[in-house]
Chain A
């Protein structure tokens, strides 16, 4: 009877069969990427929320819109979030106003379209990586399960040659195989949690952007 006394994590991983090792490697890489994206998204969403907060404060203090527009476009980097929507809408509005012959409704329509385009671009940036997190959350448990099933199949196939089946003959194989499921769950759980959290944050931001668009259209209409 061979009894594997050494059950350290590394012997479990190196002792696993090649498909199981491949599964573990894939899961490790996806886990690394999903955590990377999670941290990136935490930072970007936090920044987008802070920026829209600042911009709303500046916008509703009732200053001159031209000054605000100059302040937004003066910065070296492209305006982000709500500021970029404001910039697109106001730029279109000014441009149409300079051509004096335009109807008011056409001017408003043009600036709305410009704001809608900017809004879509912003939302696309906010939504980035969320599909990846969603698919990691739903698929990586299955990948881990595949590795486990494969490993257990191997463990039991080795058992068929032995007359006296004991638990200690299958235990190391099953332990090896279960490492794959553990890694899969470790990748999936944070991905699912992060996906849900980010999705709700992005929803809230998009609602905020949309209501700003409506309010800004009203202001422009009054101005014209």
Chain B
């Protein structure tokens, strides 16, 4: 398979701020590629480098193998679903969706037919003659999606498209987006700061921090084998064991990551580590226990069905072989 988008040591600085700092990555055609990171980590700038609203200071952004620097946004085979949808308020929903066809000169009946087909795909049949102002957040989101997809882009860029929706709607839209991507088979590049969203939808995830990609891998690998402290903390708040603690638990003298849900409580006499139960937070499906070892603290996720011990008692921790993962030490 060929690459839809490829970054070759791309940098984009805004004054002193290194928004994107020598980023290299490849997005395979047909993949659902997520760019995950906190705000200001450079992921949105990367998206804008692909859509053409930003130009790299150095390096190359290749779209289907071609250097894109000289190509303006309107001549790229990519379309964007904007964060706040950016629907045209003076046009009806149908005219919004048909806009891309209209500017390319499609006649009225063709573009209205295709727009209505797209509205059907996003389950908004019958909303064509309304104005965007009369729609709910979720419906606007769908219009924005239809408006981008009607142009049959080879790459669809999505900039935190579900950020403004409430939890229930967000989960529903995640499934729909994924199924639309499967159905159309086009490349999705998806920017988000929600790790759950990235893990559940993407084929590949690139984790951004301070303008750089710190890890790029499959969701499972990112979750189970975080390469750095940052990835471990950002993607699902994993525990990080210092080399000292790792040795105590019978591991190597290296920095290690350990998932809270991989840890079990056990009798202190045959445990890997012994610590004091510091705090318990009730999270609904589970309890989050903080356990102290001198200077360090580990969190343990305990299903709510199990009885949590009293605060302040000594507890023993154990885990399966292979639950720990050695990380790059210098991060």
Specify whether A and B are partners.
Answer: no
